[in-house]
Amino acid sequence: MAETVPADRRQRTQELRSQLQKASYAYYVLDAPDLPDEVYDRLYRELQKLEEQYPTLVTPDSPTQRVGERPASQFTALEHNIPLYSLENAFDIDEYRQWEVRWQRQTPDINEAPVVAELKIDGNALALTYENGLLTRGVTRGDGISGEDITQNVRTIRSIPLRLQIDNPPPRVEVRGEAFIPNDVFDRINAERQSKEEAPFANPRNAAAGTLRQLDSRVVAQRRLDFFAYTLLLPEGDGGLSVPQTQEGALNTLQKLGFKVNPNRKLCPTAIDVAQFYDYWDQARTKLPYLTDGVVVKLNDLALQRRLGFTQKFPRWAIALKYPAEEVPTILKNMSVQIGRTGAVTPVAELAPVQLAGTTVSRATLHNADRIAELNLHKGDTVIVRKAGEIIPEVVRVLSNLRPEGAERCQLPTHCPECNETLIRPADEAVTRCINPSCPAIVRGDLIHWTSRQALDIAGLGEKWVQQLLEQKLVNSVADLYELTVEDLLPLERMGQQLAQKLVDAIQASKAQPWSRVLFGLGIRHVGAVNAQLLTKEFYTAKLLTVADPKQIEAVYGIGPEIAYSVHEWFQSATNQRLIERLRAVGVQLEGPPPAAAPTDLPMAGKTFVLTGTLPTLNRKEAKAKIEECGGKVTGSVSSKTSYVVVGIDAGSKLAKAEKLGIQRLSEEDLLALLKNSASP
């Protein structure tokens, strides 16, 4: 029987909810409290009691729903509606001007355009989805293609509205921004952790990242994260909201919707204005209540943003103008080397511990042999260290005048420290490598990569267990994992029956991971998670990749010659072919669904297009979509089977090859006309 709620109780609930939402907005977004705390608490408790008495009154946007009732068991990976690209970095105004020249080259009809400069918040990017005005999804940036569904935790952030402040919202709105922990909250959290003899967080960004991934949203609520919105993705002409035409207008609209937007931003007509904004905040940022590591600059005109589009990694219409990293001196005690999973040899500086950007640093990368020679490193040198991109410590220079007498010069070893095989440096590479596939370091790297979250995602099988498996000679390749039994694992240090069973179950469950994850997990050079997805859509079985030649692989849209050659070489190796057969025998997924057959009744069916250069108004994704809508196929390389090559500004070698083969070339205007005429009845 349906619950009956008296009309006056329903009305009172709505009044309380409205009052509390307005008070929360005033307190957390406007920073202008309009309701005493004791009054807010009294109204909140009244609402709680009403919802407890009449559960049907509870709505997703109720202030009482900020904190989940029970901890989540895990986070689910969700694909972003639109990829979250990272930003290209510039580290001074000269590099910023070079970025200006690059985008202007793509638009010869536009010499200068206003930009919006916004402080770059040192936090964690989130993508929020609102459906009919209600918050329905909060996802971390992840790898830019997919992230973790942390909606339950996002709901605890008071500066994120649970309902948009608009009467007639569009069916779907996506908002992007940065979650962060203010400096005073960070200090309080670390003081509490130290009082409990827990390790303090290194910096607010790490604290925010760890907080967002808490399974218990009550812990997230206690840590008082904040949020600045900076991007609005809005469907055209839906709902009672006009679509902004500028970045400045988008920020103003976000404020109207109830979001907190950083007030420290400026519309800059010229690069001189950007430089002034950048220089001012370089000094003033120390007085801010949160950390900022630079200025994000975006072209103000959203139509121009769409016209410029994206590279494979970055938007062409935005750049992060970073402040110089903190630099500190310390002593180089020694130099060691690490062997990566591809055999790459990375020299590492062993340093006297020093505080740098909120963390204690005792090791720093030296990149490669050329960098060691350039620095002229000697043991005992006083070196200057900074964090590259404020993440990875690196040695930037040597104070040679302080060098101890008789100091030993640093240089790479001639033999691998793990397997004693001779190290090789290919003529066309800066990286020195161990090429022994049985090298323990390479095998260890392969296993750790295979078990990682983006690959086979074997829960619980971390680096320490992998190391023990290798030391006990229980595995020597990823295929060996699938033959492990509980009895094999029990002798491992700190291993019990229950944990051993969990690991075996997790390994067996990973057999169900799709072929794209398996391909990524194989650790082929240059094949990241995105490239693996591109390849497996075309080569939907491992057998197809085994027999494919480099040109066939390169024909996949988005795959270049270097990737194609690397994939081809890997699958031609007899050792790797045996590995594939072993994985097939134990039941790992080496096949995916075949691509859907292209309709044969569409006007461009059977026609193959290649895009080269930058088109005047369409980005490559848009051009590809239009061609495919008409039945055409877009590939990444020119061959005798190519029907048309679509040529934009700064076309490269593909155009030259097309001309050599006599393939018809099209401008963007020609392409649109061809597609339009072909589609006409």
Structure confidence at residue 236 (pLDDT)? 57
Percent of the residues in the chain that have a pLDDT greater than 90, as a whole number:
46
Residue 228 in 3-state DSSP?
strand
178 is in an annotated binding site: yes
- How confident is the model over 134-180, as pLDDT tens digits? 999 999 988 778 888 999 899 999 999 999 988 888 888 999 999 99
41 is in an annotated binding site: yes
322 is in an annotated binding site: yes
Other beta carbons within 10 angstroms of residue 598's beta carbon come to 13
Instruction: Find out whether 126 and 141 touch, Cβ atoms under 8 Å.
Output: yes
630 is in an annotated binding site: no
Instruction: Find out whether 502 and 465 touch, Cβ atoms under 8 Å.
Output: no
Structure tokens, 184: 């005073």
540 is in an annotated binding site: no
Structure confidence at residue 34 (pLDDT)? 66
- For helices 440-451 and 463-471, the axis angle rounded to 10 degrees is 140
The arithmetic mean of pLDDT across residues 21-42, rounded, is: 63
676 is in an annotated binding site: no
Rounded-to-integer distance, Cα 37 and Cα 27, Å: 10
Q: Across all residues in the chain, what is the average pLDDT?
A: 86
Structure confidence at residue 1 (pLDDT)? 46
Closest residue by Cα to residue 162 from 253, 236, 71, 58: 58
Q: What is the rounded (10 degree) CA torsion for 598, 602, 607, 609?
A: -90
86 is in an annotated binding site: yes
First CA to last CA distance, the chain: 58
**How far lies 21's CA from each of 25, 57, 161, 640, in Å?**
6, 16, 8, 64
282 is in an annotated binding site: no
H runs (alpha helix) in 484-573:
486-489, 497-509, 515-521, 529-538, 542-547, 550-554, 561-572
User: Is residue 525's pLDDT more than 80?
Assistant: yes
Structure confidence at residue 612 (pLDDT)? 86
The amino acid at residue 374 is E
User: Is residue 60's pLDDT more than 80?
Assistant: no
- How confident is the model over 375-394, as pLDDT tens digits? 999 999 999 998 755 567 88
The arithmetic mean of pLDDT across residues 116-120, rounded, is: 96
Rounded-to-integer distance, Cα 71 and Cα 139, Å: 17
User: Is residue 517's pLDDT more than 90?
Assistant: yes
Structure confidence at residue 390 (pLDDT)? 52
Rounded-to-integer distance, Cα 586 and Cα 480, Å: 10
pTM strictly above 0.85: no
Rounded-to-integer distance, Cα 564 and Cα 552, Å: 8
Rounded-to-integer distance, Cα 61 and Cα 15, Å: 13
Closest residue by Cα to residue 581 from 571, 593, 592, 595: 571
The arithmetic mean of pLDDT across residues 388-402, rounded, is: 79
User: Is residue 668's pLDDT more than 70?
Assistant: yes
278 is in an annotated binding site: no
H runs (alpha helix) in 196-309:
204-212, 217-222, 247-256, 271-284, 302-308
31 is in an annotated binding site: no
Best mean pLDDT range from 33-47, 231-245, 539-553, 635-649: 539-553
Does the annotation mark 120 as catalytic? yes
Rounded-to-integer distance, Cα 676 and Cα 627, Å: 10
Rounded-to-integer distance, Cα 66 and Cα 224, Å: 12
Structure confidence at residue 40 (pLDDT)? 65
Closest residue by Cα to residue 336 from 317, 363, 373: 363
Higher per-residue confidence, 464 vs 142: 464
439 is in an annotated binding site: yes
- How confident is the model over 613-628, as pLDDT tens digits? 878 778 777 888 889 8
User: Is residue 266's pLDDT more than 50?
Assistant: yes
Residue 319 in 3-state DSSP?
strand
Which among 22, 120, 502, 607 is annotated as catalytic? 120
Of the candidate ranges 279-293, 313-327, 575-589, the one whose mean pLDDT is the lowest: 313-327
The amino acid at residue 579 is L
Structure confidence at residue 358 (pLDDT)? 64
